[in-house]
Amino acid sequence: MTYQDSEILILQQMTVSATGQPVADCQALAASGSHRRYYRLVMADHSTLIGAFNDDVSENIAFFTFTRFFEEKGLSVPHLIAVHDDKKHYLQSDLGNTTLYEFLCKNRVGASLSQAVKDYYEQVVRALPAFQLSGQDHFDFSVSYPRHSFDRQSMQWDLNYFKYYFLKLANVPFNEQKLEDDYQALMDYLLSAPSDYFLYRDFQSRNIMVKDDKVFFIDYQGGRKGALQYDIASLLYDAKADLPEDFRTHLLNLYLDTLAQNIEVDREAFVSYFHGFVLIRILQAMGAYGYRGYFERKTHFLQSVPYAVRNLEQLLDKMQLPIELPELTSALRSLIASDPVKPYQPSQTLTVVVQSFSFKKGLPNDPSGNGGGFVFDCRALPNPGREKEFALNTGRDECVIQYLEKYPEVADFKNHVNGLVDAAVTNYLERHFNHLMVSFGCTGGQHRSVYFAEQTARHLRERFPDIIVQLHHTVHPSK
């Protein structure tokens, strides 16, 4: 038995104990940036929950403690259903598959955001103060992981991450001692901000789920004590979300209005600190991009760099701090003008076009002119089109999805498809290609091909968050 089989067995046993139902299916979810492993457990009545395994017990204890506290406060977090005695396996409610970032990508045209996107972001900023202010209400910071607070040590780690894994690897010139002097001045200033609040730490669009017209919050196990400004800075300057500047201003004002309903707010002082926390948050993110992109050679992480650089440029043009940071500012200006980030402009991002089609109507065209890609024939799989009850449905409908997913050969086909497409996408990213087609055909282009196009598009968005995935159904575009 492999370690993964053992994990699944324990999670299935926990599910039976918690729900009284047998587990009909267990689906491994796409890996994220963490080392945790997640599974969707499907019960006999088709209800679902999420099983998780993480061998870092200290991190888990922080998650369990925070989740129970937030639930008691009525905040929108996953419901913690069961925790194994080893504190490494646990069950939580299923919040679906759509992150705020994914919803944003599907509902924007350039800088123009749909009203639904704006509404969700407004929900988020109205909810944030409740999380932060809970830190003053007998919150147990003793379990915070890996630090009790966003203190000087935490800031030093982030700033050095940027220095060693971005500035140096990108060959941006700077005087190390003068840069360290600026680092100390920046930390001294940020540490003077009031900080008796809960700091979420990674408050960004990929850690917010959208379900049933509501937003839910996940991945707060790295939370600690800190200043109010850090989390709203993380959300508004989330690099790939690339929010328009006027919308950022609107959201910041809405956040401050909501905060002022609960505590006294000096807006001028808040905004000054806010700019400083935006700066350190951008630098931390760029250190992560540099480590993954320059050092680990996972070049698709570098595709986020142009967005972060643009954020830096906008910030430097308006930032007003009561301290001088001459060496850091000079290095950042050099970075903005430097060549290392130019090959990774957003226009060079890989676009994967996923589509369904009917073999009766012929193979789909490739408007890119590149040719190649994948064409998968789904006609050897069980056909819902032969069942009268599905005549008016498509592969997007739950009844068709359930019909297909009860067949093992459908799961095998999906796994083989994902393996082939993932390998191609990884290779294309390394070679800086910008277009790939993945097409699924069946007899009528209504059920099997639509199902696999939907599933593959979702998989790619989760597995490769920095690529653009375009989904088209050539026969049933409105369904």
Q: What is the pLDDT of residue 346?
A: 46
Residues 6+ apart with CB under 8 A from 20: none
354 and 339 within one domain = no
404 and 278 within one domain = no
170 and 107 within one domain = yes
Listed residues 93, 120, 149: the one ending a domain: 93
By residue range, what is the domain housing residue 362? 349-473
Q: What is the pLDDT of residue 292?
A: 82
Chain segment 309-323, per-residue pLDDT in tens? 889 998 998 898 999
415 and 317 within one domain = no
DSSP H helical segments within 223-266, as ranges?
A: 229-236, 245-260
479, part of any domain: no
112 and 59 within one domain = no
Phi, then psi, of 193 in degrees rounded to 5 = -75, 145
145 and 120 within one domain = yes
Cα separation, 303 vs 344, whole angstroms: 5
Contact by Cβ (8 Å): 450, 376: no
pLDDT beyond 50 at 347 = no
pLDDT beyond 50 at 478 = no
Contact by Cβ (8 Å): 300, 349: no
Q: What is the pLDDT of residue 3?
A: 59
Residues 6+ apart with CB under 8 A from 268: none
Q: What is the pLDDT of residue 345?
A: 46
161 and 200 within one domain = yes
211 and 323 within one domain = yes
478, part of any domain: no
DSSP string, 44-90: TTS-EEEEEE-S-HHHHHHHHHHHHHHHHTT-S---EEEE-TTSSEE
Bin 453: left if φ > 0, else alpha if -120 < ψ < 50, else beta: alpha
Which domain CATH number covers 257?
A: 3.90.1200.10
142, part of any domain: yes
**Residue-averaged pLDDT of the chain:** 90
Chain segment 349-359, per-residue pLDDT in tens? 788 999 999 99
Give how many domains the chain has, as a whole number.
3
DSSP string, 357-402: EEGGG-PPP-TTS----EEEE-TTS--GGGSGGGTT--TTSHHHHH
Cα separation, 55 vs 49, whole angstroms: 20
321 and 356 within one domain = no
Contact by Cβ (8 Å): 269, 305: no
Q: What is the mean pLDDT of residues 285-298?
A: 82
17, part of any domain: yes
> pLDDT tier at 186 (50, 70, 90 boundaries)?
very high
Instruction: Map tokens 């099997």 to a residue.
Output: 448
CA end-to-end span of the chain: 42
Q: Looking at the DSSP assignment, which residues form a beta bridge with residue 211?
A: 214
Q: What is the pLDDT of residue 31?
A: 65
Which domain CATH number covers 75?
A: 3.30.200.20
Cα separation, 279 vs 37, whole angstroms: 32
pLDDT beyond 80 at 183 = yes
322, part of any domain: yes
The structure tokens listed for 430 are 């390394």
12, part of any domain: yes
Stronger pLDDT, 337 or 207, i.e. the higher one: 207
Phi, then psi, of 348 in degrees rounded to 5 = -90, 5
Percent of the chain with pLDDT over 70: 94
Please choose, from the candidates 344, 340, 131, 347, the residue with its C-alpha nearest in 3D space to the C-alpha of residue 234: 131
Chain length of the chain: 479
